A = this chain, B = another copy of it.
Amino acid sequence: MSDHKRRAGGTLAPKLTNANETHLPKAGVHGGRPVSIEGLRRLSGYLIRQAQLFVFHDFNQRLAPLDLRPAQYSVLSVTRENPGLSQMALSHVLGIGRSGIVPLLDVLEARGLLTREPASDRRSHALYLTARGSGLLAQADVLVQQNQDHTIDKIGRRNHEQLLEILEVFGRPE
């Protein structure tokens, strides 16, 4: 099944095999003409958004067996790389505000994937993966690599390498 079809979802796909409905416009065409989106296609913001939806859609499907969403994977990955980091440092580096990071950590802790240990500063907490969290993350790494391969298939390996270089500036913790 193509990504296109997956993304559009069944409710949008006209049943062209049904004779009573063949007068319906084909999705993506407009009175027999393809829908034009030249205005949007010149905007990197639009293309970046569409690319992000493509990646996340595939991510969520692939990682569903592990019940991990992109932000959860990011939290586990950063915690593995920086054992004992504070909630504040984590939220800052991921660009997720306090109101977003707390429920994220609550869920991961309740699932036994990470722990919040009291730090010397009582207002903070030091984050660590549990053994279970490490194990799940190792499984997730394999699926996330497949998710990346899916993007590489879409745009080509050389373009993908260029993309990593162009967007590198967005992955610099400050």
The chain A residues found within 8 Å of chain B, CB to CB, are 4, 7-9, 11-12, 14, 23-25, 27-31, 34-56, 59, 70, 74, 77-78, 80-82, 84-86, 88-93, 95, 97-98, 121, 123-124, 144, 147-148, 151, 154-155, 159-160, 162-164, 166-171, 173-174
Number of copies: 2
Given contacts A42-B164, A50-B171, A124-B25, contact A9 B89 (CB under 8 A): no
B168 touches A25 (CB 8 A): no
One of B4, B34, B174 near A28 (C-beta < 8 A): B174
Task: List chain B residues, Cβ under 8 A from A88.
Answer: 12, 14, 24-25, 27
